[in-house]
């Protein structure tokens, strides 16, 4: 069975400092990995994905993620955090491809708190 793990319930960082939100995965076959962000009482917003190719993936709002096959990790990073980045972040893996549809399995989420 495919799964993702987010080992940190919360990450605290000061504004202007770099941030990392960790994600590790377990899949059989090629991993298809995603990061989403959720603000309070809102739906999920897509940040970036890794399908194949370059291990460093750039996404929305200055976020990037590094795919590491040997460590089975897909950590989310940003060089300089903003207070407005404070939100709940989910890592996800696409586990099946039933025709046109894919099935996402989410990690438990990491709350990012950025303070002044």
What residues line the site for other proteins (CB under 8 A)?
32, 34, 36, 41-46, 49, 51, 88, 90, 94, 97-104, 106-109
Provide the phi-psi class of 65: left if phi over 0, else alpha when psi is between -120 and 50, else beta: beta
- Contact between 67 and 48 (Cβ < 8 Å): no
Q: How far apart are CA 68 and CA 40, in angstroms?
A: 30
| Shortest distance (Å) from residue 32 CB to other proteins | 4
| Shortest distance (Å) from residue 88 CB to other proteins | 8
| Shortest distance (Å) from residue 97 CB to other proteins | 6
Which C-beta is closer to other proteins: that of 1 or that of 116?
A: 1
| Shortest distance (Å) from residue 16 CB to other proteins | 27
Strand ranges (DSSP E) for 1-116? 3-5, 10-14, 19-21, 24-26, 33-38, 44-50, 56-58, 64-68, 73-78, 87-98, 101-106, 110-115
Which C-beta is closer to other proteins: that of 19 or that of 90?
A: 90
Which C-beta is closer to other proteins: that of 40 or that of 70?
A: 40
């Amino acid at each position: 069975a495919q799964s993702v793990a987010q080992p940190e319930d919360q990450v605290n960082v000061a504004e202007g400092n770099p941030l990392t939100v960790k994600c590790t995965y377990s899949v059989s076959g090629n991993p298809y990995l995603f990061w989403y962000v959720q603000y309070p009482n809102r739906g999920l917003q897509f940040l970036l994905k890794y399908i194949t190719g370059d291990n460093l993936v750039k996404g929305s709002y200055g976020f990037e993620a590094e795919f590491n096959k040997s460590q089975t990790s897909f950590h989310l990073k940003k060089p300089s955090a903003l207070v407005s980045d404070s939100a709940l972040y989910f890592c996800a893996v696409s586990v099946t491809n039933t025709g046109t549809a894919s099935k996402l399995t989410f990690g438990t989420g990491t709350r990012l708190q950025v303070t002044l």
